[in-house]
Amino acid sequence: MKIITVLGARPQFIKASVVSHAIAQSGMLTEVVVHTGQHFDANMSDVFFSELGMVTPAYHLDIHGGTHGAMTGRMLAEVERVLLDEKPDAVLVYGDTNSTLAGALAAAKLHIPVAHVEAGLRSFNMAMPEEINRILTDRISRWLFTPTNVAAQHLAREGFTAEQIIPVGDVMYDVALHHGARVTAEGGLLQRLGLRPKNYLLATIHRAENTDHSERLAAIVDALEVTAESLQVVWPLHPRTRAVLQQAGRLEDLSRRMTLIEPVGYLDMVQLEKYAALIATDSGGVQKEAFFYQVPCVTVRDETEWVELVEAGWNRLAPPTDASSLRQDISEALGSCGKSVKPYGEGDAAQRIVKHLMLNL
């Protein structure tokens, strides 16, 4: 049986790596990977395929840039063409990007069943493009693979049946267990950047709700700048964030005060995360990785889909409304830790997904 995986953004390459591996081992399923091209820089795309041992995509659609509607529309047309040629038994999509929605919609219209990995997450903020993408994708998926109990509860409340909701755990936990253990403090990026373990703050910012609102981005930058006076700040800049900071004329001065670097590969990122004193981020994946490596996290957003980490005390929400309150949240979080919890399954989410597909296709 043939599965087509549609992906296109950095976190999707990471999530798909473990599921693709499980598919390859199944002996029953074959996978054809379609890369939409949403993320295309070598350090936002290729590095993950080589580092995580993934097969080269059979199709590269090279679609990026433009408005959300234009990008999603082009993907829809191109993915449909591939599905008509390949005639798969199912389409597999991940998370909440435009590639997710385009893949799911193209398949659903052709009556090809859709499997959605990381289903049921909700921020309850419809201003987020991610929230629109995930709600619509869930609605048209046959199998909803949920990473947490909270995600499964959201779907049950929205009227999905027990047969459609399949709790498997979080594939990112699988990846962290698989790759995280082999990362140590020795050598690597830590050494190249001259960082001492547990002596720096790691920041990542890329969400439109922060990069597209100058006052929010200014509050984040100001808070990190003050923090950098007493604690080294390392910030791998997402291309979108770099472009906005450049345009705002802040990049040059910032680069003198903190360690601004290009996006890094997964294993370098794990090393930066694992040995950070604190992580400040608006990334979904990075919030969880902070917890996997037991590093306190400040989430620079108004809400989070990963509420269990806030409840357990590993993560605190810090809406970037003003720099001084964010700075305060950062200093309070330093040195803190949360309760011992295990909300993301057993590290076998990929196996469970593939097993379910084999039994139900």
Q: List interacting residues with ligand UDP (CB under 6 A).
A: 10-11, 14, 204, 206, 236, 263-264, 266, 269, 283-286, 289
For ligand UDP, the closer CB: 294 or 360:
294
Closest CB 276 distance from ligand UDP, rounded Å: 12
| Token pair listed for 345 | 């399954």
Closest CB 284 distance from ligand UDP, rounded Å: 4
For ligand UDP, the closer CB: 32 or 315:
315
Using the structure block, give the residue that is written with the tokens 């995360």: 273
Phi-psi category of 62—alpha, beta or left, where left has phi over 0 and alpha has psi -120 to 50? left
For ligand UDP, the closer CB: 32 or 102:
102
Order of strands across the sheet that contains 200-204: 259-261, 232-236, 200-204, 278-281, 297-299, 315-317
Task: Give me the numbers of helices (H) and strands (E) for the chain, helices first please.
Answer: 17, 13
Assess contact for 211 and 217: CB atoms under 8 A: yes
3-state secondary structure 34-73: EECCCCCCCCCCHHHHHHCCCCCCCEECCCCCCCHHHHHH
Catalytic residue at 206?
yes
For ligand UDP, the closer CB: 160 or 235:
235
For ligand UDP, the closer CB: 10 or 242:
10
| Maximum pairwise Cα distance, the chain | 58
For ligand UDP, the closer CB: 8 or 236:
236
Computed over its alpha carbons, how large is the radius of gyration of the chain? Answer: 20
CA angle 58, 50, 235 (to 5 degrees): 120
E-assigned strands of the chain? 2-7, 30-35, 59-60, 90-94, 114-117, 143-146, 165-167, 200-204, 232-236, 259-261, 278-281, 297-299, 315-317
φ/ψ of residue 72, rounded to 5: -65, -40
Residue 305 to residue 344: CA distance in whole angstroms? 13
Closest CB 123 distance from ligand UDP, rounded Å: 11
Task: Name the catalytic one among 111, 206, 213, 238.
Answer: 206
Closest CB 320 distance from ligand UDP, rounded Å: 16
Residue 230 to residue 159: CA distance in whole angstroms? 50
Closest CB 96 distance from ligand UDP, rounded Å: 7
For ligand UDP, the closer CB: 78 or 170:
170
Secondary structure class of 227 (helix, strand, coil): helix
Closest CB 247 distance from ligand UDP, rounded Å: 21
Assess contact for 147 and 171: CB atoms under 8 A: yes
Closest CB 238 distance from ligand UDP, rounded Å: 7
Q: Which residues are catalytic?
A: 206
